[in-house]
Amino acid sequence: MNDKHGTIAVNGAPDPILTALLQHSTPQHPTLWFADEQFQSIDPAWLDHPTIQVISNRYDVWQRFTQQGINAQFSDFVIKDLPPATPQKVYHRIAKEKPVVHHVINQAASLLAPGGELWLAGAKREGIRTYCAKAAALFGTPAEVHKQGMAYLGRIVRSTQPAGPTLDDNDYPRLRPIATTHGMTLLSKPGLFAWDKIDRGSALLAEQLPDWLRRLRPKHLVDLGCGYGYLALMAHHHGVEPIVATDNNAAALLACQANFAAQGVNGTVVAGDCGDGLDQRFDALLCNPPFHRGFTHHGDLTEQFLAAIARLLSARGRALVVVNRFIPVLRLAEKRFRRCRLYAENSSFQVFELGL
């Protein structure tokens, strides 16, 4: 794209693969970008053009783009108010999860008219060549793939011939039952962390809840980074209400809302990045924070969540946080919390209790 914007990055180093794809964007054509968490470090000015539309499944990415006046939608990569064949080009830096990438490719096939282009970017180890080959079979035309640094860029042109069969996206849009616990059937879907199971770290934290909640007797509880709402549902099972759940991921918000409705939880689901959509304090907080952004491990995510926990806890409040054993929570948390102790552990995870 035009280099008048200067640097691509904001808030840290940008993904070099996404950077390479941005440099091949051509705003003189109606263009649609599918943007996920890998856009968190990208300067929105790079997509500030009236012909460009952005669909993001991350609330903070959508928020930053709309604040810049960019035409952006927040959704679970579901097309809304976009007539068929409107974009002439569709761009996607491939996501970490295969169902998400397959869903995006299927969406592009349904939107693009003959002659329209799908651009995909990724690293070799991420399976970019396979995705390009699958898109080519669907589009009815060979993929043009070239290497730029560590990035592989694929251009697939929509053929005038009928498209091949859509890619298996694991019925991406559909919520479905994935487990039953304590008489509750849990609903989830592709597109969020540990979507098809009960995460082992969250399960360890949930084992501590009966005694912890009995001792704490909270009046207000928040599940920070709620996912499909497992920890909030466990708190509900143990009699805590009202409950607030918050997440940055559109798929997580949809699943958590569905679980709250199905189980009759007296609670609210709020979109936000590390709880930035909340302005109240809580006397109980549960959290299984992420430590990956896209394909990359980001140590600053732990500090970001610890700062959010400190902001959201009441003066006498307590947080129960579960992390992988290799994350140095004690060293990081002691800067912000007077109370910081190991509460439970197993061979893979540790649960810490934090208090101001």
CATH code of the domain covering residue 28:
3.40.50.150
Pair (146, 198) in one structural domain:
no
Task: Give DSSP secondary structure letters for 265-288.
Answer: --EEEEE-STTTT--S-EEEEEE-
Confidence at residue 10, expressed as pLDDT on a 0 to 100 scale: 53
Q: Are 139 and 157 in contact (CB under 8 A)?
A: yes
Which residues are CB-neighbours of 49 under 8 A, at least 6 positions away? 27, 31
Would you say residue 162 lies in a domain? no
Confidence at residue 290, expressed as pLDDT on a 0 to 100 scale: 82
Pair (9, 131) in one structural domain:
yes
Pair (144, 287) in one structural domain:
no
Confidence at residue 11, expressed as pLDDT on a 0 to 100 scale: 56
Confidence at residue 109, expressed as pLDDT on a 0 to 100 scale: 93
66/300 Cα distance (integer angstroms): 25
Tokens of 208: 């501590």
Would you say residue 164 lies in a domain? no
Domains in the chain: how many in total?
2
Pair (206, 313) in one structural domain:
yes
Confidence at residue 40, expressed as pLDDT on a 0 to 100 scale: 87
Q: Chunk the chain into consecutive blocks of 10 residues (it has 356) and report each block's average pLDDT, rounded to whole numbers.
A: 45 80 86 93 87 94 94 89 74 95 95 94 96 96 95 94 87 97 97 92 98 96 97 97 97 98 97 94 95 51 91 96 90 90 96 96
Q: Which domain holds residue 319?
A: 176-355
Would you say residue 343 lies in a domain? yes
Element (H, E) at 61: helix 59-67
Task: Give DSSP secondary structure letters for 302-330.
Answer: HHHHHHHHHHHEEEEEEEEEEEETTS-HH
Q: Are 319 and 313 in contact (CB under 8 A)?
A: yes
Residue 146 gets which letter from DSSP? E
303/284 Cα distance (integer angstroms): 19
Would you say residue 146 lies in a domain? yes
Pair (186, 285) in one structural domain:
yes
Confidence at residue 302, expressed as pLDDT on a 0 to 100 scale: 85
